[in-house]
Amino acid sequence: MTTGVLIMAHGTPASPGEIVAFYTRIRRGRPPDAAQLAELEGRYRAIGGVSPLAERTRAQVAAVRAELERRAPGRYAVAFGAKHTEPLIEKAAAELVAAGHAQVVGLVLTPHASSMGSKEYLDRAAKELGATPFVAIDAWYAQPALVELLASRVTAALDTVRGEGRVVFTAHSLPERIRESGDTYPEQLAESSELVARSAGLGKWEVAWQSAGRTPDPWLGPDIRDVVRRLGTGGSTDAVVVCPIGFVADHLEVLYDLDIEVARVAAEAGLEYVRTASLNDDPAFIEVLADLVTAAAP
């Protein structure tokens, strides 16, 4: 009996020529105006012209495939589907159905679950899979090995700071209205931050949100930039150490929103800025992902 494994992620333009189509898709079919497009293109240029997310995700998927094959030769068939770029989730799911696997495991490359995040991915996969048994992996931020791995990154980052450093854990903000349906995404961020902070032996830490969309709706806060400004005026720390706990790879929201935008705010506030290293395809992180799959479908 073989098991299909559908790994899902956000997706990103693989080249500058794909930015318009990508931006149009994430805006639900509404093309960006000239100013919006110019701003986004400028952000991509600032980090080298294109986000490394596509490459990082391919490396993660390939590493999970290799690790599962090492553990159980011939047992798992790994496919990748993206929310906003090719191959889309539906295409990857259809290929797994056509292959005739006894079941499919769905794993979204985000540790926290939300109605506007991982649930959308899993729902799209389930719809395409139809009658094929589907095992959807829920939030996995509390996995002990992941907590330990992130704690080690926090400790390593703190070791580079000159003076006193305050750790701020961040994740992608979502509209406040998610709370209306009982979405526990905010509580998950608070819990995962506390787990990592305790593992790293932190006495104090902050939780903040980043990369909020530019819509009239209120978004989850506090915003990381406001937190950094407050820390700079408080006089209780010399540096801000940002741990983007909601992200598993280098991409625009990390390399620009944090390493450029938040770093600038920190400098203006008189604080040193340090960020924890992204997980990317670190073998220890790949072990975490493979463990999730094998626990869901031994």
pLDDT tens for 83-132 read 999 999 999 999 999 999 999 999 999 999 999 999 999 999 999 999 99
- The DSSP bridge pattern shows strands 239-243 and 272-275 to be parallel
pLDDT for 214: 82
pLDDT band at 16 (very low <50, low <70, confident <90, very high): confident
Q: What is the chain's mean pLDDT, rounded? A: 96
* Structure tokens given for 5: 């494994």
pLDDT for 267: 98
pLDDT for 37: 87
Helix (H) or strand (E) holding 134: strand 134-136
Whole-angstrom distance, CA of residue 73 vs CA of residue 239: 47
pLDDT tens for 243-289 read 999 999 999 999 999 999 999 999 999 999 999 999 999 999 999 99
Over range 59-75, report the average pLDDT: 98
pLDDT band at 167 (very low <50, low <70, confident <90, very high): very high
Burial of 72 (0-12, 13-18, 19+ CB in 10 A): middle
SS3 label, residue 272: strand
Sign for the CA dihedral angle at 221, 168, 111, 261 comes to positive
Q: Which domains does the chain have, with CATH numbers?
A: 3-140+281-296 (3.40.50.1400), 144-275 (3.40.50.1400)
Whole-angstrom distance, CA of residue 143 vs CA of residue 8: 19
pLDDT at residue 36 tops 90: no
Q: What is the pTM of this model?
A: 0.96
